[in-house]
Amino acid sequence: MTESPGTTGLIMNEPLLWEKSRQGRCGISIPESDVETTPLDAEFAGEGPDFPDLSEVDVVRHFTRLSQWNFGVDTGMYPLGSCTMKYNPKIHEKIAALPGFAGAHPMLPPDLAQGTLRIMYELERFLCEITGMDATTLQPAAGAHGELTAMLLFYAYHKSKGEKRTRILIPDTAHGTNPASAALCGYAPVPVTSGDDGVLSVEAVEALMDEETAGIMVTNPNTLGLFEQNIRKVAEVVHRKGGLVYGDGANMNAVMGIVKMGEIGIDAIHLNLHKTFSTPHGGGGPGAGPVCVRKHLEPFLPVPRVTKNGDAYALQYNRPDSIGKIHAFHGNFGILIRAYSYILSMGRHLKTASQHAVLSANYIKERLKDVLHLPYDRPCMHECVFTDKNQEDFKITTLDMAKRLMDYGFHPPTIYFPLVVHGAIMIEPTETEPKENLDQFIETFKIIIKEAVETPELLREAPTAPKVRRLDEATAARKPCLCG
């Protein structure tokens, strides 16, 4: 093996912002006023916030040092399962910062906003094409926000038929936020147990589906990284009872150009643009979670809708069946623009991206399954799930292995998720990781597994290379200190 990427450099220390404040400093230029001051009644006047005073160099050094304590995709391999941490093209940042986009007011008259409206219109069409659906709303600001939007659409659809349904089916291999999104719409989430093969059985759905049930929320490919093979029949069962099928599209990166969700019985699907369409995740956000729907759900989509008449784009508000608005303006446009740019850069290579993502995941699965326990030994999609069962005898857990990976310069995979797998290790390499890095990751994992037997204390003590060692999360939750 070549030298580990985890060889560390100098880590600078840095206090909290207010620990370095000196009153009277200011890090921005405040212009001289060219108008008179208007007095303010004492009834309204406040004291101003207790912010630290810092110069520009203080601020620049502070955040530069903080950034060096972080691991990002540009730092190294980030195989966080179900999060799709692929490379983020740099040209997107330049485009999003163009003054015409970054400086655009969201309430400009449509005549003065043709550029952004065209992007939204075309992006909606692209997403419809990729998913095989008929219409898209770009308003939801994140994946879970898209889930909620889809549930609101389900509610509105059933209401328009004079029905009030109370339950929704959610397989145990669905994403963690699905039940909460359904509950926000007043639906009681009903868990569906997957079969021994890790996918939904038609019988399990048939046994639970009735006229009180609004539909089902299927993550496909599911959180075990497996394609829901029975999806068409499952959809038929749900539709027969008047229900709707929701597809959680967070894992769309596996099937672009390979499966059209609209053709296999899905009525609504959300996409995590920040995942599949490669926009930076920013330490947890912002994202974007557009929802694509089939024709029968289109009347309920949020307003306004972007319309095209000849070469002119406009915004349409008058849609009586619409659920209303889900975002103050048009969603996270700055993210939409990156996804739009990504689709234009990739074109037909979107399918290749999915193929390579699946190839890389299967490659890791094959090469690690001799040393790590593989609960479902089947061809996987874009991610593979192992467990720590083989390491139990040595009292080494998934957590220990994850932490040890950091010392070697890798971000750990997703751990302890999905919940249906005990001690889960969920690896998603994505299509942008070169083969040499996959090989190095595999070799590193094998070394760690060897260490688990020979020198387990190295794992229990890990990590030692980062700025801090294992953090006391229990005390943080028991005695929360959320403010400095």
Question: Looking only at residues 101 through 130 of this chain, which bind another protein when binding is defined by CB under 8 A?
Answer: 101-109, 111-116, 118-119, 126, 129-130
CA angle 243, 248, 251 (to 5 degrees): 150
Residue number, 56 or 453, with CB nearest to another protein: 56
Of all helices (H) and strands (E), which one includes residue 468?
Answer: none
Query: What is the per-residue binding string for another protein in 63-82, x denoting contact by CB under 8 A?
Result: xx-xxxxxxxxxx--x-x--
Check if the beta carbon of residue 416 is closer than 8 Å to that of residue 423.
yes
Is 339 one of the binding residues for another protein (CB under 8 A)?
A: no
Minimum gap (Å) between residue 393 Cβ and another protein: 25
Is 352 one of the binding residues for another protein (CB under 8 A)?
A: yes
Size of the site for another protein (CB under 8 A): 198
End-to-end, the C-alpha distance of the chain in Å comes to 45
Check if the beta carbon of residue 167 is closer than 8 Å to that of residue 154.
no
Pull the structure tokens for residue 217.
């929320």
Q: Can you tell me the distance from the alpha carbon of 276 to that of 181, in angstroms, rounded to the nearest whole number? A: 21
CA separation, residue 15 to residues 19, 54, 55, 293, 429 (Å): 6, 13, 15, 49, 35
Minimum gap (Å) between residue 456 Cβ and another protein: 17
Is 310 one of the binding residues for another protein (CB under 8 A)?
A: no
Site for another protein in 235-254 (CB under 8 A): none
Minimum gap (Å) between residue 245 Cβ and another protein: 13
Query: What is the per-residue binding string for another protein in 149-168, x denoting contact by CB under 8 A?
Result: ---x--xx------------
Q: Reduce the DSSP state of residue 419 to 3 states and report it.
A: coil
Query: What is the per-residue binding string for another protein in 265-294, x denoting contact by CB under 8 A?
Result: -------------x-xxxxxxxx-------
- Tally Cβ neighbours within 10 Å of residue 295: 11
Contacts of 196 (CB under 8 A, 6+ apart): none
Is 457 one of the binding residues for another protein (CB under 8 A)?
A: no
Is 312 one of the binding residues for another protein (CB under 8 A)?
A: no
Check if the beta carbon of residue 403 is closer than 8 Å to that of residue 462.
yes
Minimum gap (Å) between residue 31 Cβ and another protein: 6
Residue number, 96 or 314, with CB nearest to another protein: 96
Among 4, 363, 456, 458, binds another protein (CB under 8 A): 363
Is 302 one of the binding residues for another protein (CB under 8 A)?
A: yes
Among 4, 5, 87, 390, binds another protein (CB under 8 A): 87
Residue number, 80 or 135, with CB nearest to another protein: 80
Is 10 one of the binding residues for another protein (CB under 8 A)?
A: no
Site for another protein in 365-394 (CB under 8 A): 366-367, 378-379, 381
Is 330 one of the binding residues for another protein (CB under 8 A)?
A: yes
Is 333 one of the binding residues for another protein (CB under 8 A)?
A: yes
Pull the structure tokens for residue 230.
């029975």
Residue number, 118 or 393, with CB nearest to another protein: 118
Residue number, 111 or 210, with CB nearest to another protein: 111
Pull the structure tokens for residue 193.
């147990």
Helices (H), 132-255: 143-160, 178-184, 202-208, 231-240
Site for another protein in 177-236 (CB under 8 A): 177, 179-181, 183-186, 189, 191, 226-227, 229, 231-232
Q: Can you tell me the distance from the alpha carbon of 288 to that of 273, in angstroms, rounded to the nearest whole number? A: 5
Minimum gap (Å) between residue 109 Cβ and another protein: 7
Minimum gap (Å) between residue 237 Cβ and another protein: 16
Site for another protein in 409-428 (CB under 8 A): 411-412, 414, 417, 419
Contacts of 265 (CB under 8 A, 6+ apart): 231, 232, 234, 235, 236, 239, 245
Minimum gap (Å) between residue 313 Cβ and another protein: 10
Beta strand 213-219 pairing with 244-249: parallel
The phi, psi pair for 209, rounded to 5°, reads: -75, 130
Among 37, 196, 211, 457, binds another protein (CB under 8 A): 37
**Cis ω for the linkage preceding 286 (within 30 of 0):** yes
Among 1, 8, 12, 94, binds another protein (CB under 8 A): 94
Of all helices (H) and strands (E), which one includes residue 346?
Answer: helix 333-346
Q: Can you tell me the distance from the alpha carbon of 245 to that of 261, in angstroms, rounded to the nearest whole number? A: 10
